[in-house]
Copies of this chain bind each other. A is one copy, B any other.
Amino acid sequence: MSYVEELGIRAKKAERAIAGASTLQKDTALKAIADALIARKDEIIAENLVDLKRADENNMSQAMRDRLKLDEKRIAGIADGVRQLVSLKDPIGQVVDGFTRPNGLKITKVRVPIGVIGIIFESRPNVTVDAGALCLKAGNAVILKGGKEAINSNICLGKIMREAIETAGLPSDVIQVVESTSRDTTNELMKLTGYLDVLIPRGSAGLIKAVVNNATVPVIETGAGNCHVYVDESADLNMAVEITDNAKTQRPSVCNAIESLLVHQSVAETFLPMIAERFREHDVVIYGCPETVRILGNNIKSATEKEYATEFNDYIIAVKVVRNIDEAIEHISKYGTRHSECIVTKSYDSARKFQNEVDAAAVYVNASTRFTDGEVFGFGAEIGISTQKLHARGPMGLSELTSTKYLIDGDGQIRG
């Protein structure tokens, strides 16, 4: 039996215990995890230093190194995140539908855990705790495979969580951290049919594509975000500047930041110089269509298919002047990743048309795309943002980590 299959068997064994655990038991485990993270912070920092030392040897970029680093303050933040889950309503047992049939059968549809969840993610070690704790609160067993750069931190965090879970009377195998950094392990996880009920990849487009193309277990795709702001003919142009700037520059590295700006031809002449001036404050590089270049001048680079299709995750934007809202929707349909899209408009008809016809997880009127986020939506926490249409779409909170079952109560009904 392979190492990964063994993890699967252990998770299956822990599955029923955590599915049957009371909210009180689960919350006790979460509090124990938070306390243990604080109490054992020196241990975590020591293991994290091993990862950081290797990162330095491998000349990791400063940005990546920063994502990897754990210090006392960050550990306190992670522990706080776990404690916040305690206050969230337990989704398990929630009645989502119920009715009585003509023959007297009472049918109730209730939330139950999914079972065993696999999560593959990259670099940031805080995900080990965030994701593990979320899965636990929703009554699932979880197998976590983090990036090799954070392996020592992840193993340490896993060990601390597992010991804390046991003190709450639950099996430690509710949370398992894959202690191998081999790619074979990732491939095996993708094909762990019979053990994994779902696999959630979080990370680069490359990772997600590899999982989607190779997995035989059900997958929830997350993350890829080629998002747009469309400035309509009737837009409040000052509002459009604020929203476009916020959506592009407030945090360019994340999936709900925009990558392209579409501008109605009748306001382009006025609006493009306004936003270009604002973009200069952040040194945003603009790639423009011929009309954009004509308006903004020759220091603007020319946009090609490639720029419209790229998720820059950086201070870079592609700009296109469009004839009308239909061309904007067409462009989004062609290049968008169905994540978050925004129209700035004063027109009731344009707002309705855009929300009806744009196919994306979140479609905004007059607000920044940066709000697509589980915490901002009020879910308390999120495991990722689904860009697929099955099971969950958009920010995934505790409810999205559940399934349902039908309970049917009768008094002897048989089918005629």
Contact = CB atoms under 8 A, between A and B. Distances in A.
Interface of A: 16, 19-20, 99, 101, 105, 107, 112, 114-115, 193, 197-198, 212-216, 218-220, 236, 239, 242-243, 245-247, 250, 333, 351, 355-357, 359-368, 370-372, 376-378, 388-391, 393-394, 403-415
Given A114-B390, A371-B415, A389-B403, A409 B366 contact: yes
18 contacts: A20-B356, A101-B378, A115-B359, A212-B216, A220-B390, A242-B414, A246-B415, A250-B414, A362-B408, A363-B406, A363-B407, A364-B410, A366-B412, A367-B409, A367-B413, A371-B408, A372-B406, A390-B390
B390 A218 contact: yes
A363 B415 contact: no
A-B pairs, 9 with minimum CB distance: A367-B410, A246-B414, A389-B403, A370-B415, A391-B391, A367-B413, A390-B391, A362-B406, A239-B412
In this complex, which of A368, A391, A408 has the most chain B Cβ atoms within 10 angstroms of its Cβ? Answer: A408
Contacts of A359: 16, 19, 112, 115, 405
Contacts of A115: 359, 389
A149 B247 CA distance: 55
B407 A355 contact: yes
Contact of A377 (B101, B389, B391): B101
B412 A394 contact: no
Contacts of A408: 362-365, 367, 371
B366 A107 contact: no
Given A412-B367, A415-B246, A197 B390 contact: yes
Contacts of A356: 20
Nearest to A15: B359
